């Protein structure tokens, strides 16, 4: 049996290596062209974004059926569920990103990728304006203008390029930007947890405050302030980030910087009475208990109203119903209060009558078509639907749209054959087929598979939907294992799966280090 085990291990290893090798090779592709061989026009499908909606759409699409162009300022897909693991080095950033071109170069039909951001749209002309963008940002640039100003770094000498692009079909998958609710000082003084660059900034800041504090005497109030890490927002992003940082303090910084570690304090500030409000009450209470044990300072019923460079000013509701103003000093402020609409999405909404009442995102129908348009589709965090703004939803919408565009091509192809018949006796049969296809165009249906959040100290909470018959909620060490395997499974490429497992093994064996980014 030892022989069998060894044999299986070697076989599995070979399969993995082969799969990773295969993933790293481009394939022969059908080139883009204005017409199909039968003379039918090949339509241009422009996809905006390279996130959880757009990439699954692309991966599942038969790209020989359209001239596909993908436009995104970020030339990689980011596996957001593991982003909170980056600042502490639990996972390395290259392990959770996949370049757009390693995806597009492996599809059956040629796909053009443009590193640019859509800045405006003219739906009457089927035209978008795109601006080349060399930096990936969260949607704010040091000040809260609501628009995203990309700054082209001057070392390249690249001048900003703006151009237009026409589409027959447009899919909007630009996601959302971090919300600030217009609270003064947020964009200037805090770091979001949305992009790789945010995680790198948090990493740098952690070591900056540690090293600065280390130069000050132990009882210096400035030292105390520097070592306060404040996380605003008790949604899953804030909870996971606080949990990961506390792990780093307890498991690693304790070894290398015992004096500083004792004074490092993570505070999580939440406006509502509870954290993780999308999870059930049992899990919410479990999270509270774990935070208590792990020394995360949980401040609920506390709303940040203003951010200054060294303190946040909050309104705190007391049990007797009165409120008081409290100032909380911080060395690092991480801002995770959910989503706001991007300027491109707002531009599109402003140009369509049916979207005039839309506030929190594009209104779409059951085919994910933007209300008030014929040829614009939208998915993920830039839409406002009955579904939550999660990767799970965007992913399923992307898969669905890939099928829909396949069906739409079939329909259009039949229409073309009816208009340009090679055999007139066929027309009736084709017309029937067309009717049948049109009547049976599938609608999007969301299947909730459960949600999981890591809460630190190797514990996780999970709301699991097992079929339709039960709803299991768990918390604890076992859930942590489940959480990790679920993510490993969800990580999209085999290469990423291997890299993440290796990162976890490295941390298990050697711990996380305490160097700067």
List residues near ligand NAI by CB under 6 A. 81, 181, 183, 232-238, 240, 269-272, 277-278, 303-304, 336-339, 388-390, 451-453
> Residue 469: CB partners within 8 Å, gap ≥ 6?
none
Does residue 196 touch ligand FAD according to CB under 6 A?
no
How far from 295 is each of 167, 259, 396, 513, CA to CA, in Å?
54, 17, 38, 22
Of the residues 331, 380, 456, 475, which one makes contact with ligand FAD according to CB under 6 A: 380
Residue nearest to ligand FAD (CB): 51
CB 278, min distance to ligand NAI, A: 5
- Residue 146, classified by CB atoms within 10 Å of its CB into exposed (0-12), middle (13-18) or buried (19+), is middle
Residue closer to Mg ion by CB (options 204, 403) is 403
CB 415, min distance to ligand FAD, A: 31
H or E element, residue 264: none
Cα gap 306→313, rounded to integer Å: 5
User: Which residue bears the tokens 């259009």?
Assistant: 412
Residue nearest to ligand NAI (CB): 235
Residue closer to ligand NAI by CB (options 111, 136) is 136
Residue closer to ligand NAI by CB (options 142, 338) is 338
> Residue 132: CB partners within 8 Å, gap ≥ 6?
115, 116, 152, 158, 160, 161, 162
Beta bridge partners of 472: 464
Of the residues 45, 47, 54, 191, which one makes contact with Mg ion according to CB under 5 A: 54
Q: Which of residues 107-146 bind ligand FAD (CB under 6 A)?
A: 117-118
Structure tokens at 462: 């999970």
> Residue 233: CB partners within 8 Å, gap ≥ 6?
269, 270, 335, 336, 337, 338
Partner that binds at residue 83, options ligand FAD, Mg ion, ligand NAI, none, CB closer than 5 to 8 Å by kind? ligand FAD
Q: Is 324 helix (H, G, I), strand (E, B) or coil?
A: strand
Cα gap 248→513, rounded to integer Å: 9
Partner that binds at residue 269, options ligand FAD, ligand NAI, Mg ion, none, CB closer than 5 to 8 Å by kind? ligand NAI
Does residue 390 touch ligand FAD according to CB under 6 A?
yes
Query: How far, rounded to the nearest angstrom, does the alpha carbon of residue 446 sit from its chain's CA centroid?
Result: 18
Q: Which of residues 72-101 bind ligand FAD (CB under 6 A)?
A: 72-74, 80-81, 83-84
User: What is the x/- site pattern for ligand FAD, positions 202-241, by CB under 6 A?
Assistant: -----------------------------------x----
Does residue 73 touch Mg ion according to CB under 5 A?
no
Of the residues 44, 53, 228, 287, which one makes contact with Mg ion according to CB under 5 A: 53
User: Which residue bears the tokens 């690693």?
Assistant: 252
How far from 4 is each of 7, 18, 119, CA to CA, in Å?
5, 21, 58
Structure tokens at 298: 């949980």
User: Which residues of the shown chain bind ligand FAD in the complex (CB under 6 A)?
Assistant: 48-54, 71-74, 80-81, 83-84, 117-118, 173-175, 193-194, 237, 342, 344, 380-382, 389-392, 394
């Amino acid at each position: 049996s030892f022989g069998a085990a060894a044999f299986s291990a070697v076989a599995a290893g070979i399969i993995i290596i082969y799969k990773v090798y295969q993933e790293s090779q481009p394939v022969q592709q059908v080139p883009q062209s204005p017409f199909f061989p039968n003379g039918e026009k090949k339509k241009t499908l422009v996809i905006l974004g390279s996130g959880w909606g757009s990439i699954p759409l692309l991966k599942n699409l038969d790209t020989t059926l359209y001239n596909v162009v993908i436009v995104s300022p970020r030339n990689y897909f980011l596996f957001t569920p593991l982003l909170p693991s980056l600042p502490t080095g639990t996972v390395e950033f290259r392990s959770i990103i996949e370049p757009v071109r390693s995806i597009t170069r492996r599809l059956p039909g040629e796909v053009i990728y443009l590193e640019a951001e859509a800045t405006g749209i003219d739906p009457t002309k089927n035209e978008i304006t795109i601006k080349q963008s060399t930096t990936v940002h969260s949607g704010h640039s040091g000040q809260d203008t609501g628009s995203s100003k990309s700054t082209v770094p001057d070392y390249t000498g690249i001048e900003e390029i703006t151009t237009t692009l026409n589409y027959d079909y447009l899919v909007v998958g630009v996601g959302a930007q971090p919300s600030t609710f217009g609270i003064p000082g947020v964009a200037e003084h805090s770091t979001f947890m949305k992009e790789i660059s945010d995680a790198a900034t948090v990493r740098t800041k952690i070591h900056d405050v540690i090293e600065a504090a280390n130069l000050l005497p132990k009882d210096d109030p400035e030292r105390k302030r520097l070592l306060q890490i404040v996380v605003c927002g008790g949604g899953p992003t804030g909870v996971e980030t606080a949990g990961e940082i506390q792990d780093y303090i307890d498991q690693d910084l304790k070894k290398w910087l015992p004096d500083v570690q004792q004074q490092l304090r993570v505070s999580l500030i939440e406006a509502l009475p509870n954290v993780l409000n999308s999870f059930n009450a049992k899990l919410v209470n479990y999270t509270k208990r774990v935070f208590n044990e792990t020394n995360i300072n949980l401040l609920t019923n506390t709303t940040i109203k203003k951010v200054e460079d060294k303190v946040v000013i909050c309104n705190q509701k007391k049990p007797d119903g009165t409120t008081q103003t409290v100032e909380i000093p911080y060395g690092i402020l991480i801002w995770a209060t959910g989503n706001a609409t991007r300027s491109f999405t707002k531009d599109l909404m402003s140009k369509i009558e049916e979207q005039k009442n839309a506030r929190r995102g594009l209104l779409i129908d059951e085919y994910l078509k933007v209300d008030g348009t014929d040829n614009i589709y939208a998915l993920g965090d830039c839409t406002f639907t009955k579904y939550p703004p999660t990767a799970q939803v965007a992913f399923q919408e992307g898969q669905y749209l890939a099928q829909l565009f396949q069906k739409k091509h079939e329909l259009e192809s039949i229409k073309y054959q009816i208009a340009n018949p090679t055999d007139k006796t066929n027309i009736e049969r084709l017309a029937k087929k067309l009717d049948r296809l049109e009547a049976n165009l599938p609608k999007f249906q969301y299947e909730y598979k459960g949600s999981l959040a890591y809460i630190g100290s190797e514990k996780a909470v999970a709301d699991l939907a097992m079929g339709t018959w039960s709803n299991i909620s768990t918390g604890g060490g076992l859930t942590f294992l489940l959480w990790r395997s679920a993510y490993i499974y969800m990580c999209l490429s085999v290469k990423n799966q291997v890299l993440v497992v290796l990162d976890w093994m490295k941390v298990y064996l050697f711990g996380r280090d305490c160097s700067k980014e």
